[in-house]
Structures are given as C-alpha cells and as structure tokens.
Structure 1
Amino acid sequence: MLRRQDVGHRVVVRRIVGVSQNRTLYTDALGELVDLTETDLTLATAKGTLRVPLREVHRAKRVPAARRPPAAEVIALELAANDAWPAPIQGRLGHWILRAAENWTGRANSALAVGDPDRPLEAAIDAVTEWYSALGQRALINAPLPLAAPVNAALDARGWGARPLTLVQTASVAALAGALPKQDLPPVELADDPGDDWYALVAEHKGTLPATAVRILTGPAEVAFAQVRDADGGLLAVGRGAVTGPDRWLGVSLLQTAPPARRRGLARHVLRELVQWGAQHGSSRVYLQVEERNTGAVTLYGRVGFTTHHTYLTREEPV
C-alpha cells in the first residue's frame, strides 16, 4: 500500500469494482497521488480527479514519473498568478509569499509555499501561523503539487485540513484561437474598470465584494474586464483577464454567465475576446484556475484545449 511520503508522486492503483460469476473485477488508475487519508486516496489522472475508498484498493504502488513541468516553470507560473491576484497585504518568508486580504478568496489569503522559506520546514509553518494570527486570521497555505509535497506531508502530520483540489490549467493562445471561432452573439465589451452590475454578477459567485476585492481585481497594471449585454443593456456574461510576469502569462478568471443566459456559448465568447486581448498585449500562453469538482467548467475548458499544468491544495490551520 501507499504511504504519506508517496503523496505528490505518480502511482498506479488497482481497484476492486465488483464481482461477476464468482470472479473479482478490477480496474486500474494511473495518476498523481494528491491526498491520502485513513479512508480514501485521491488521484489526479488524465481524465480528472479520482477519489478511491481504501476498502476498494487491491494493490497500489509508486511508478516512474511521467514528464512534468520543471519546478522553475511551476514557480514562475505561480508567481505570475500571484501578480494577477495581488493581495494588498504581503510579507516574505524567504521565497514564500504571505498574503492577506480580509479573508476574500483563498488565493489572496494564503501563504504561497514555493521556493525556500529560509528556515527548516517546521519553523516555516510556525512562522506562517504566527503571521496570520497577528492579523486575526486563520492560517492558510497554498501548496502546489507535486512541488510542495513535503509541505503537504508536514501539514498532514499537524492535522491541517484541505480545501478542494484546484487545477491550474494552461493552453497556448494559438491553440485557443483555433478552438474558439467567432459566434453570432452580442459583442464583448472590454473595459479598464468594471461597472457596479459587473461586480454584482461576480458577487453572486464570490460573495459580497469588499473594498479589498476591488483593489485585487483592479490591481494589475494590465487588466481587462469583459462584459456582454443584451439589446436592453442587461448584463449577460462577464470575465477578467490580466497579463503578468516576465513570460507574459494571460490569467483568465471570473468567467460567469447570468443564469437566464446560460447554455448559449457566452463563456466561450468572452474567453475568445480575452484571449485576443492577451495576444495584443504580448501573451502566448493562457492559464486559469478551477476546482476539480467543478466538472462543468473543467469539461468546457478541456474541450477548447486546456490541460492541467499542475494542481494545488489550500491547506487550513486546525481550528
């Protein structure tokens, strides 16, 4: 069987799926082990994330790793994403970035554990906890996988919880241009600063937007707010794009469609315009972050060419 030190590594799991004519039936799953508890294991596979109860596991073992992005590339992308979602309060712990934003979103209120914290791991976790405690916040740590597998293992030993797995997905601008043809829909407007109804539609998904949220959303130097309106001026769909980092990554976020306007292709419509805007600002690659349990969004992004670059877990300090 697998052990905690296998988290972050590529494994194969033989799973019991039933019995037929007195014969046990099995299926095999290959992927990255992203979590292992007393009752379940979780794999990030090519088809998505798979949770398997341990009682159904017949055999499991580590296998040689497939090609994965170099650590430096993961770090560069995470830093670009940090710049695209800039927390107003930030601190440093070696290379780790401590971030706080009045608890609005996990991304802006977690320590980004990439690089060297400039002290032993256990001491680094203690320092993170103390930093957030001084702000009156519960400590969160954003741990990319497999890069931060040792961090995850240390947090497991301390009893830290975990929010749902997030997929960091990427695609090339060229590939998306071919997969997102122009549609006969109302035009997409791009603005430097969104209006109140734009924020209101986002708030339906993200909750009430404090002043801190507005600072985060408008913070990057190169940012665009997309919106689609009907003939009467009603808001149908929105999205946000930001170009950051030395590699000019385009980060797409907050693709949302008003409930009455769904299933009309508006999300693709907005994505297409944001990708074009990114290309005009020197971007050749696009990323987005989506929870693996959001199967509808994961399916949509997969169909237009996004693949998972790496994953991350947002870890929570025990209450």
Structure 2
Amino acid sequence: MLRQQDVGHRVVVRRIVGVTGDRTLFTDALGELVDLTETDLTIATDKGTVRVPLREVHRAKRVPPARRPHAAAVIALELAADEAWPAPVRSRLGGWILRAADNWTGRANSALAVGDPDRPLDAAIDAVIKWYADRGQQPLVNTPMPLAAPVSAALDERGWTTRPLTLVQTVALAPLVTAPTPGDLPPVDLADSPGDDWYAMVAEHKGTLPGAALSILNGVPEKVFAHVRDADGELLAVARGAVTGPDRWLGVSLLQTAPAARRRGLGQHVMRGLARWAAQRGAARAYLQVEERNTAAVALYGRLGFSTHHTYLTRQGRV
C-alpha cells in the first residue's frame, strides 16, 4: 500500500471494479498521487483526476517517472530559480554557484552543483567547505537529481548528511489563468512591495527575517507580493511570485494561509492571481519547491495540476 511519502510521485493502482462469477475484475490507473487520506487516494492521470476508495484498492506501488527531464532543462530551471531567490553573497566555482544569506533558507545558503566546477570533484568539495568556513557557516550543497548524482555519491563517501528530499514541481499557467474566480473570496491584492503584516506572516513560518532575507525577497526586478485580506483588513493569505530566466518561469514561494482561514480555497485563489500576473509578463509555466514530507502542500499543488519535474537533495557537511 502507498504511504504519505508517495504523494507527489508516479504510482500505479490496481482497482477492484466488480466480480463476475468467481472472477474479480480489475482496472489499472497510472499517474501522479496527489492526495492520500484514511479513506481515499487521488491520482492525476493523463485523462484527468481519479479518486479511488481505499477499500477498492487491490494493489498499489510507486513507479519510476514517465521520463526524466534532459540535463539542460534541469539546469535551466535551477538557474531560473536561483535568479528568483538571489542570495546577496555569491561566488562562482566554475559552473557551480556558491551562495550565502545569513543562514536564511537552505536555498540561499548552499552551493548549487550544476555544470562543471572547473576542477576535480574532490577539489571542488574542498573549495566549498573552505568558502563556507571562511564565512562561519556550515557547508551545504544543493544536488539536483539525477543530474548531480555523482556529486551526491562523493558527498556520501565523505559522510555528509542529507536534508529531506525537495520536489521541484511545475505546471502550465493556462488552466490557472482561465479558471473562474470564486465570488465568495476576497480579492487577491498584488503589490510591488510587501506590507508589514505580509512580513509578519512569513516570519511565523520562516523565523526572523534578517537583512539578507529582505534582500532576497526584494532583489528581483519582476516580482509581486500577494495579499488576501478579509473585510476587516486582517491578512488571510500571502505568497510571492517572480518571473525569471530566458524561458520566463513564474517562481512561486512562501504561499501561506492563516490557520483560521484554511480549507477555504485561498491557496488556489492566490495561485490563480499570481498566474494571471505572470501570464501578462510572458510566462507560460510556473514552478515551486516543496519538501516531499509536506504532504498537505504536495496534495494542494497536485490539485492545481503541479507535477514533479525533478528533485533535489540538500547535503550537509560538518563544520
């Protein structure tokens, strides 16, 4: 049987659909597992979304992705994501990018291991360790998979640990742009800069925002900050969008809803607002990064049509 860790991955489910005489009849569903509850599972297939009661599941398992993206596509998306989340302290190691931002978020404080580091792999790892040691930080390396599998294997040999797997998920914007807006939800206000309450909501999730965080959030030419407020002006939901890269990707980050306002469709509402903003700027696809273990968020994004493009591991060395 499938587990919460399988949400966001490609699965095959054999479903019991009836009995004829002494024969049990089955049908198979293949697609991405987007939700798993105590009673049902939901799969996004090529023909649409299918909900299957668990009592009808005969057998289910995770299967390999339909196809792996080309290395060039992984690199291009990782570079667009780096541009959308610009660490204020940066250096180059051949094609690798070394990043530091007062330890605010792993993305902005890790070496992005894409391309050729312009030296043997062991020497590149040594250079990463020294660069972060000179700044008093723990060395981290972001390894997009399977592209950076050799780097990850080399770090295994050195005893580096692994943070939870992150899914890099993508979706076409067109269905979000054309989706109807529910009439019972407050409007999505898209602002060039965040309000104080926007920062406060993000800080509840991400911790105190140092100066480097403000630099990251505001350091992109084409960015927008989504606010949804109730009739009394109380903030209900926030998110940040940024359009970057030659392929004009919309990067979605920090999508959050106030606890008292959850399960009202506000996350999808905000995403539609960001999609329309980005489409006006020439974007056709969006991406986001979510930890595999955050099954509630993975399920939400699955309902919006997101699927996993590739994954990455953040590898952590000793100080």
> What is aligned with 1:47?
33
Q: Distance in 1 between matches of 2:164 and 2:285?
A: 25
Moved segments of 4+, more than 3 Å: 45-48, 63-66
1:195 CA displacement:
1.0
> What is aligned with 1:214?
214
1:23-38 mapped onto 2 (5 Å cutoff): none
Question: Tell me, what secondary structure is at the counterpart of 2:311?
Answer: strand
Whether 2:162 is the aligned partner of 1:162: answer yes
Question: Tell me, what secondary structure is at the counterpart of 2:202?
Answer: helix
> What is aligned with 1:183?
182
Whether 2:312 is the aligned partner of 1:306: answer no
1:230-245 mapped onto 2 (5 Å cutoff): 230-245=230-245
> What is aligned with 1:59?
none
Segments of structure 1 that go 5 or more residues without pairing to the other structure are 1-11, 13-44, 49-62
1:212 CA displacement:
1.0
Identity over the aligned pairs, expressed in percent? Answer: 72
TM value normalised by structure 2: 0.79
Question: Tell me, what secondary structure is at the counterpart of 1:250?
Answer: strand
Q: Distance in 1 between matches of 2:65 and 2:222?
A: 37
1:211 CA displacement:
1.3
> What is aligned with 1:254?
254
> What is aligned with 2:81?
81
1:257 CA displacement:
0.5
CA RMSD in angstroms comes to: 1.7
Cα offsets for 1:120-179 (capped at 9, x unmatched): 11110000000000011010000000000000100011000111000000011113335x
1:66 CA displacement:
4.7
Query: Residues 228, 95 of structure 1: CA spacing in aligned structure 2 closer, same or farther, 3 A cutoff?
Result: same
Cα offsets for 1:179-217 (capped at 9, x unmatched): x43112011101111011100000111011111101100
- Count of residue pairs brought into register by the alignment: 261
Select between 205-214 and 85-94 the one with higher mean Cα deviation.
205-214
Question: Tell me, what secondary structure is at the counterpart of 1:47?
Answer: strand
Whether 2:120 is the aligned partner of 1:120: answer yes
1:47 CA displacement:
3.5
Q: Distance in 1 between matches of 2:264 and 2:154?
A: 46
Query: Residues 189, 122 of structure 1: CA spacing in aligned structure 2 closer, same or farther, 3 A cutoff?
Result: same
> What is aligned with 1:142?
142
> Bigger relative contact order, structure 1 or 2, given CA contacts below 8 A and separation 6+?
2
Amino acid at match of 1:139: P
Query: Residues 64, 175 of structure 1: CA spacing in aligned structure 2 closer, same or farther, 3 A cutoff?
Result: closer
> What is aligned with 2:199?
199
Cα offsets for 1:273-312 (capped at 9, x unmatched): 0000000111001000000000001011111110000000
TM value normalised by structure 1: 0.79
Q: Distance in 1 between matches of 2:302 and 2:241?
A: 19
Q: Distance in 2 between matches of 1:112 and 1:142?
A: 5
